[in-house]
Amino acid sequence: MQANRSPATRNFTVTPPPTYAIAFLVLIGGVVPLAALGFMLWSGNPPLDRLTQVSPALGIIPVVLALLFFAMKRRSVTLVGHVLDVRAALFRERTPIADIDLDHARLVDLAERMDLRPAVKTMGMSLPGFHAGHFRLRGKLVKAFCLITDRQRVLWLPLHNGTDQLLLSVERPQALLDALRAAMDGRAGRA
């Protein structure tokens, strides 16, 4: 009888988002709405009427801000057997290594490769310095799953289908690329 073996798992550290991304989240998600509510509260109707009008929003704003903050902290890149598992905020993409065109995968700087910049958010979270989820890219509007926290060091992993790609910010992009290639070579050796 053979023992059940779980596939080998390797985690790759995601580059943390810049502090201005978190500051922007707090500013847009907390300070601006609270300032707008404060303005509404102190102008117009009698104070009690105004307070009952805005009190639901006063309770919702901190909850939404906390959810967005914790979603932003949910980011991981894991190689599980022959599948690359990427978690980015509320989104997850599992891609078989065989689907990745490793011959064309590169480390890119999005300042130079403007065609690979996320342009249209289809289902994702986007702040200055942080892109997570599904996007259309600037060049030809092809699809990409993004976990971008550092635009200068992004691992670009195009897929063999020619229309999809992964854009990942990991601290050691070459280590991830080497692990993907080794896993693919190991798979080819067993086939």
Tens digit of pLDDT at every position of the chain (191 positions): 444 545 689 999 999 999 888 888 878 777 777 777 677 666 665 555 666 666 676 677 778 888 888 999 999 999 999 999 999 999 999 999 999 999 999 999 999 999 999 999 999 999 999 999 999 999 888 999 999 999 999 999 999 998 899 999 999 999 999 999 999 887 655 55
Residue 186 is assigned to a structural domain of this protein: yes
Residue 62 is assigned to a structural domain of this protein: yes
Residue 80 is assigned to a structural domain of this protein: yes
Residue 75 is assigned to a structural domain of this protein: yes
137-143 long-range contacts (CB < 8 A, ≥24 apart) are 137/165, 138/114, 139/114, 139/115, 140/115
User: At 130, is the secondary structure helix, strand, or coil?
Assistant: strand
Domain count, the chain: 1
Whether pTM > 0.95 for this model: the answer is no
* Domain assignment of residue 134, given as a range: 9-191
Residue 88 is assigned to a structural domain of this protein: yes
Residue 3 is assigned to a structural domain of this protein: no
Residue 1 is assigned to a structural domain of this protein: no
Residue 30 is assigned to a structural domain of this protein: yes
Calpha distance 173→153 (Å, rounded): 8
Calpha distance 170→81 (Å, rounded): 19
